[in-house]
Amino acid sequence: MNRRAIRKALNLLALSLSGLATAIGLFFLGAILWTLIKNGVAGLSPKVFSAMTPPPGSSGGLLNALYGSIVMTLIAILIGGPVGMLAGTYLAEYGRTSRISAVIRFVNDVLLSAPSIIIGLFVYELLVVRMGHFSAIAGAVALAIIAIPVTVRTTEDMLNLVPQGMKDASTAMGAYHWRTITSVVYPAARSGIVTGLLLAIARISGETAPLLFTALNNQFWSTNLLAPMANLPVVIFQFALSPYPNWQQLAWTGALIITVSILILSVTARIVVSRLSPAGRR
């Protein structure tokens, strides 16, 4: 075999392996989704959305857990969204080149990749210890702290995509900087910012670790934000590891619901980016 043939063979081998690697990645996505559908669909019934989490052995649903997850995610995004957007605005507009912005960007990146269970410990020390008990609001704060760095990052990136000429035009009309930001920059970057918020919601709605010792869990219907509140991830965790078949079934169904919602959110976010703002296209 001459040198050329060896090189060609090596090339073919390497490229086939890279195709194989991609197939492996896609295979695991398919395998996980298939497992969820196979095990989760069996338990899907109107009762899942209308009954409370049951004691072992009797039938029930996930209503209180769904409610708790939605409420805590909403509160978290209502706190984390505006804070993240304002901080991102500072980084992209007012403090674009200042030294403190470089530090904030770095710290934000650290928070973005910090283990979520550490955030749970922080909120435990901050709120749960002081209040003396677990509570839904502590869970929501933990989720908000996880949402903030995501929002900061996407907001800054999206605001940076707004052409400088548009801002200059607004400034030339005599607008103050805040007016330029709220009336020109925000509308131009709206779809990008919405995408960031959707991604933040997708990120926090599946988080389990930070809720384990902040919101804890609650077997009953509760709307009291100052008391422990049921939530889907922790219920899945508890039920999946239980020896009771009816609990395990509910865990699979809950897992299916949560994954499908998150995948829909992520795909929607991507569609928003590619459809509405040509600047955001990758």
Partner 1 sequence: MNSSVVTIEARQAAGQRLRERVFRLATLAAALLVLLLLGGVVLSLVVGAWPALSHFKFSFLTREIWNPVTDQYGALAPIYGTLVTSALALLLAIPVSFGIAIFLTELAPAWLKRPVGVAIELLAAVPSIIYGIWGLFVLAPILQAHVQPALIAWLGPLPVIGKLFQGPPYGIGVLSASFVLAIMVIPFISAVMRDVFETVPDVLKESCYGLGATTWEVIWQVVVPYARTGMIGGVMLGLGRALGETMAVTFVIGNAHRIGSSLLAPGTTISASIANEFAEAVGDLYTSSLVALGAILFLITFTVIAFARYMLMRLERRALSNV
Of 175-214, binders to partner 1 (CB under 8 A) are 176-179, 181-182, 202, 205-209, 212-213
Residue 55 carries which DSSP code? P
CB-based contact 40:257 (threshold 8 Å): yes
Q: How far apart are CA 144 and CA 153, in angstroms?
A: 14
CB-based contact 266:252 (threshold 8 Å): no
Q: Does 173 engage in binding with partner 1 (CB under 8 A)?
A: no
Q: Which of 37, 63, 70, 101 binds partner 1 (CB under 8 A)?
A: 101
Least separation in angstroms between residue 195's CB and partner 1 is: 13
Q: Which of 54, 84, 139, 192 binds partner 1 (CB under 8 A)?
A: 84
Q: Does 107 engage in binding with partner 1 (CB under 8 A)?
A: yes
- Which range binds partner 1 by CB under 8 A, 43-51, 63-71, 164-172, 237-245? 237-245
- Other beta carbons within 10 angstroms of residue 246's beta carbon come to 17
Least separation in angstroms between residue 79's CB and partner 1 is: 11
Residue closer to partner 1, measured from CB, 50 or 111: 111
Q: Does 5 engage in binding with partner 1 (CB under 8 A)?
A: no
- Which range binds partner 1 by CB under 8 A, 62-70, 142-150, 162-170, 184-192? 142-150
Residue closer to partner 1, measured from CB, 26 or 226: 26
Q: Does 276 engage in binding with partner 1 (CB under 8 A)?
A: no
Size of the site for partner 1 (CB under 8 A): 90
Q: Does 133 engage in binding with partner 1 (CB under 8 A)?
A: no
Scan residues 217-236 and list those touching partner 1 (CB under 8 A): 233, 236
The two most distant CA atoms of the chain are separated, in Å, by: 77
CB-based contact 71:81 (threshold 8 Å): no
Q: Does 8 engage in binding with partner 1 (CB under 8 A)?
A: yes
Q: Which of 47, 52, 116, 280 binds partner 1 (CB under 8 A)?
A: 116
Radius of gyration for the alpha carbons in the chain, expressed in angstroms and rounded: 23
Q: How far apart are CA 219 and CA 28, in angstroms?
A: 33
Q: Does 114 engage in binding with partner 1 (CB under 8 A)?
A: yes
Residue closer to partner 1, measured from CB, 50 or 176: 176
Least separation in angstroms between residue 117's CB and partner 1 is: 5
Say how many CA atoms lie within 13 Å of 1 toward its Cβ.
8
Please give the helix or strand (H or E) that residue 165 lies within, else none. Answer: helix 164-172
Q: How far is CA 184 from CA 44, 169, 190, 235, 281, in A?
A: 46, 10, 10, 44, 20
Scan residues 42-71 and list those touching partner 1 (CB under 8 A): none
Residue 128's Cα: distance from chain center in Å?
Answer: 23
Q: How far apart are CA 71 and CA 76, in angstroms?
A: 8
Q: Does 127 engage in binding with partner 1 (CB under 8 A)?
A: no
Q: Does 240 engage in binding with partner 1 (CB under 8 A)?
A: yes
CB-based contact 223:143 (threshold 8 Å): no
